[in-house]
Amino acid sequence: MSEPSTVTDPADPRLADYTGLTDVELRRRREPAEGLFIAEGEKVIRRALAAGYRMRSMLLTAKWLDVMADVIAEADAPVHVVDPHLAEAVTGYHVHRGALASMERKPLPDAATLLTGARRVAVLEGLVDHTNLGAIFRSAAALGMDAVLLSPDCADPLYRRAVKVSMGAVFAVPYARLDPWPAALDTVRAAGFTLLALTPAETALDLPTL
């Protein structure tokens, strides 16, 4: 069990993982490079832990201590308690849910491994909006997709906004990068899949006719 400690200085180095969360370019460069991502909200934190991600630290406002008591009891990482104003000063936005956790990333599997035994996969190309990416992962989980494959220029599924919008579905649906693009699509074909592209064009065929 980690004993929660109160932090009163927004420049405290113990809070470094949570600084500047609104700076998308900073997070895009820093989080993958340092092997971390931020889980926001009680449900997302619990789902990340349940999916086997290791916690680096947790940042809570006082009112969430009781709600997260069982998580704290199991944690082997520091738990920092701050007031809401300090949380906003550190992260750069109002932390509505009052609970953040810095988590360690897992190595990404290769696409061929994910395709083994899979029946349906979603392939995403050039999707750079984190909100849309999170929504697609949530839909992929609801539709029973076995995996999601991303082109190299797609947004990071573990970016805070994508994780939040997906309600943790990014932890439940396996994903990998297809690189180089588009040549790596041959990996999908070699696994026995037929590639279908979605488009709103009037000349497109209805899926039931295929």
Which of the 8 DSSP states describes residue 180? S
Q: Does some domain include residue 207?
A: no
Query: Measured between alpha carbons, how far is 166 from 202 in angstroms, rounded to an integer?
Result: 30
Q: How many domains does the chain have?
A: 2
209 band by pLDDT with thresholds 50, 70 and 90: low
- Its pTM stands at 0.84
Query: Measured between alpha carbons, how far is 136 from 124 in angstroms, rounded to an integer?
Result: 9
CATH number at residue 97: 3.30.1330.30
pLDDT tens digits for range 123-143: 999 999 999 999 999 999 999
CATH number at residue 127: 3.40.1280.10
Mean pLDDT of 28-54: 89
Which of the 8 DSSP states describes residue 3? P
Q: Kindly state whether residues 99 and 164 are assigned to the same domain.
A: no
pLDDT of the residue at 96: 62
pLDDT at 104 exceeding the cut of 90: yes
209 burial level (CB within 10 Å; 0-12, 13-18, 19+): exposed
Q: Kindly state whether residues 94 and 175 are assigned to the same domain.
A: no
pLDDT of the residue at 128: 92
Q: Kindly state whether residues 62 and 151 are assigned to the same domain.
A: no
Domain with 95, as residue range(s), is 5-104
Query: Measured between alpha carbons, how far is 140 from 31 in angstroms, rounded to an integer?
Result: 24
CA angle 100, 103, 108 (to 5 degrees): 140
